Amino acid sequence: MVGFGLYPESVGLERKDGYWLWTGGPVPPGYAGITLGPLVSIRKRAASNQRLLRHELIHVEQFRRHGVFGFLARYMSTYLRWRLRGYGHLGAYRRIPLEVEADWRSRADQTFQRTDR
């Protein structure tokens, strides 16, 4: 992006405490956010959704815990296993343990707060 003369802020990219938040960045159709390593990309319309941000930050933790390869291997192998058992996309997605953990913790820990330094 620097090669195009853009500053990260001009495209909605902010450095936070331990992660990057890209508001208005690329997100798959049908979803409000996605995380790849330390990069959290959230649709503009979902930028104020604190539970979504908690959910995505849990994925940042999971990437750190398992590493990129470990996270992706766990995520995709579980998804594929459920698809092969006859579940549709949403059914398989909801059974991925990394998603279950992020969903449960983001709902259960309403007091989770990140402080930007």
Q: How far apart are CA 59 and CA 39, in angstroms?
A: 10
Whether residue 57 has pLDDT greater than 90: yes
Q: Is the pTM of this model over 0.75?
A: yes
Instruction: State the average pLDDT over residues 39-57.
Output: 97
Tens digits of residue pLDDT in 69-111: 999 999 999 999 999 999 999 999 999 999 999 999 999 876 5
| Alpha carbon separation from 113 to 50, 91, 103, 104 (Å, rounded) | 9, 30, 16, 16
Question: Which pLDDT does position 117 carry in this prediction?
Answer: 43
Q: What is the average pLDDT score of the chain?
A: 89
Helix axes 50-84, 97-108, angle to 10 degrees: 150
Whether residue 58 has pLDDT greater than 90: yes
